[in-house]
Amino acid sequence: MSKIIIANWKMNPQSPKEAEKLFSSVKKEAKNVKNTKIIVCPPFLFLHLFKKFKHKNISLGAQNVAKETEGSFTGEISSKMLSSMEVSHVIVGHGERRSMGETNEIINAKILNLLKFKIFPVLCVGEGNRDKEGFYLSFVADQVKDCLKGVTSSQVKNIIMAYEPLWAIGKDASREATKEEFMEMKIFIRKIISDLYGSKVAHNIPVLYGGSVNYLNAKSFIEEGADGLLIGRDSLNPQKFSAILNTLK
């Protein structure tokens, strides 16, 4: 399986010019990577800039989508609109969106919509804190089960899972997860999917790690067994992003 590296630009950068510059640097770097698929997720507003600007190792992703298909939903963007921009992947259930009130039920509706339009959902799950009793495991199990409701076994093959513990995300992160914490979760997520869809299907679902990934820790997550990485801050800095890609060569 080739590795999946997702650049989640979040609400950055602030102008189309800067976005083009950043994308060009990724494009340059992408020429040298092997067995790696890079998915760049800019803000909606900049997607059109990159529709015709891609590279064989780069796909275009979005950071969110509406749960409805069309109609009077001020400020929303539909799966069909994203498909018309040649967006192939969409991040759903990101911790930062969950903290704005997005529930598993809403995320589930988004996933079902994306699948109808043949867009790959990148489903983020992760706990807010790790309690000693292990309740975080049932919390993540519920996220996986509730978000995949109604997804058929042929559709689930198109889902990418990302484990992003909330305590490891963004500039206020306390720390990144350890390789062992990630692997425990990868096995656990695969087990839940296996209970729902069978072990063969579960085995082929990529499970990525996200949360304070940088060039110092990227390789160790991949070596430990991550199928890819979901990168926030360090995807905004061409040198840092290129250093991450270089460690994976």
Enumerate the active-site residues.
Answer: 94, 164
Q: Which is nearer to ligand 13P, 67 or 233 (CB)?
A: 233
- Angle at Cα 18 formed by Cα 56 and Cα 87, nearest 5°? 40
CA distance 215 to 243: 6
* 233 is a site residue for ligand 13P (CB under 6 A): yes
For 206, half-sphere exposure in the C-beta direction (CA atoms, 13 angstrom radius) is: 25
User: Could you say which of 107, 213, 245, 248 contacts ligand 13P (CB under 6 A)?
Assistant: 213
Size of the site for ligand 13P (CB under 6 A): 14
CA distance 164 to 8: 12
Binding to ligand 13P by CB under 6 A, coded x per residue (else -) over 31-70, reads ----------------------------------------
The span of 21-29, 130-138, 210-218, 238-246 binding ligand 13P (CB under 6 A) equals 210-218
CA distance 227 to 237: 23
The span of 145-153, 163-171, 178-186, 194-202 binding ligand 13P (CB under 6 A) equals 163-171
Q: Three-class SS of residue 209? A: strand
Count of Cβ atoms closer than 10 Å to residue 78 Cβ: 18
Chain residues binding ligand 13P by CB under 6 A are 8, 94, 164, 169-170, 173, 210-213, 230-233
